[in-house]
Structure 1
Amino acid sequence: MHLVPEDRAHRRAIDEHSVCEAIAGIGDPDTVRTWAERFSLLADPNRLSVLLAIHRAGPIAVTDLALATGVNESAVSQILRLLRVSGTVAATKDGRVVRYRLVDHDTATLLESVPALRQAG
């Protein structure tokens, strides 16, 4: 069981090959953590709605996102703050208006698999 970490090497395996395949499938713990954080951003319906709207129509302003999603402007602003900090979206100032666009390629790829986006495209 060449992929089993030393701290688990003493445990008994039923199928050592399956264990090594499973470990290889899990991959790097930091990558798993990154994807878990990405999925947690998508887990809230309001955040997902904002992301889908940005992905489809971005760059888009907070007011327009609130109107499109039915989420109040204050909540949209809080969602966007979280998405900016995570590196998922970026803001561009256009005069007095700030517009948001999706900048995380992996999140964009995930959003492409959402049926509503595929049907609307």
Structure 2
Amino acid sequence: MHLVPSDRAAHRTIDGHRVCDAIAAIGDAGHVRSWAERFALLADPGRLALLLALHETGPLAVSDLAVATGMRDPAVSQALRLLRAGGLVEGERDGRIVRYRLVDMSIAEVLEHGVLGYREA
């Protein structure tokens, strides 16, 4: 199947069939952009630490996450705001306490196979 867009069809290729396979693997640009945004959220050590803590322990409050990560409460709240906006975590209110949990299962898999797998190696 020939997938090279018309605006790139005149470019010389070495392995044309592999180029088509690569284009198919890349897929929709919007999907790629969405994943890039998710990985950008993981790129910050503080946010990654929060996600690792939530992945391993389940729901935790801001103050508990601050103690676990060594971050200050306002920094944890700001990071959680970004993670919530990105759809990675959600807060569950229990009276005056809000406990956050990881809800993006694709990110949970990345953490499990990537970061946590690296720790075991």
Instruction: Please give the TM-score of this superposition, normalised by the length of structure 1.
Output: 0.91
2:91 corresponds to 1:91: yes
Sequence identity of aligned pairs in percent? 62
Corresponding residue for residue 36 of structure 2: 36
Moved over 2 A (4+): 115-119
Cα distance in 2 for partners of 1:98, 1:70 equals 19
Does the aligned pair in 2 maintain the 1:66–1:72 contact within 8 Å?
yes
1:73 to partner: Cα distance: 0.5
Structure 1 runs not aligned, ≥5 long = none
- Within a 5 Å distance, the mapping from 1:92-107 to structure 2 comes to 92-107=92-107
Whole-angstrom distance in 2 between the partners of 1:52 and 1:98: 18
Unaligned 5+ runs, structure 2: none
Deviates further, 84-93 or 7-16:
7-16
The whole-number CA distance in structure 2 between the counterparts of 1:79 and 1:111 is 17
CA RMSD of aligned residues (A): 1.6
Corresponding residue pairs, total: 119
Please report how far the alpha carbon of residue 115 of structure 1 lies from its aligned counterpart in structure 2 after TM superposition. Answer: 2.8
For residues 1-121 of structure 1, the aligned pairs below 5 Å read 2-113=2-113, 114-115=115-116, 119=120
